[in-house]
């Protein structure tokens, strides 16, 4: 089971631009094992659109998903900078500090910051 969870990418975000993101907690039903993942894309007009895509994918792998909140990501791949900010009206504000820690695992050479700014 651990291997399957490890196979789930921690971060899937657009390579460029400003877009909505959500922080999702994966859990095995009845199990202790859990993991938080970050998903964000410009294709999503609303935060729940991201969740509606992630949830079935994760259910197929045997996970229960819970959205821990959302916000926005500003991804500048040229300058290697990511800014995490804002909130989700439907899910509330994700803990951006958690999001940043997850992003740092993947974007190791980036400057990654967060704030509670709306824009």
Considering the candidates 47, 49, 75, 96, report the single residue annotated as catalytic: 47
118 is in an annotated binding site: no
Report DSSP letters for 26-46, one per residue.
EE-TT-S-EEEEEEEETT-SS
C-alpha to C-alpha distance for 95 and 20, rounded to whole angstroms? 14
Q: How many residues does the chain have?
A: 119
Q: Tell me if residue 96 is catalytic.
A: no
Binding residues, as ranges, are 20
Binding residues for substrate, as ranges, are 20
The residues assigned a catalytic role are 47
């Amino acid at each position: 089971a651990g291997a399957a969870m490890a196979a789930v990418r921690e971060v899937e975000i657009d390579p460029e631009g400003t877009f909505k993101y959500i922080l999702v907690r994966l859990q095995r039903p009845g199990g202790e094992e859990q993991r938080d993942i970050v998903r964000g894309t410009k294709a999503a007009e609303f935060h729940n659109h991201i969740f509606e895509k992630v949830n079935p994918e994760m259910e197929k792998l045997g996970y229960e998903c819970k959205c821990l909140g959302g916000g926005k990501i500003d991804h500048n791949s040229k300058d290697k900078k990511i800014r995490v900010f804002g909130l989700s009206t439907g899910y509330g504000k994700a803990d951006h500090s958690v999001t940043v820690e997850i992003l740092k695992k993947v974007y190791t050479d980036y400057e990654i910051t967060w704030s509670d700014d709306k824009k």
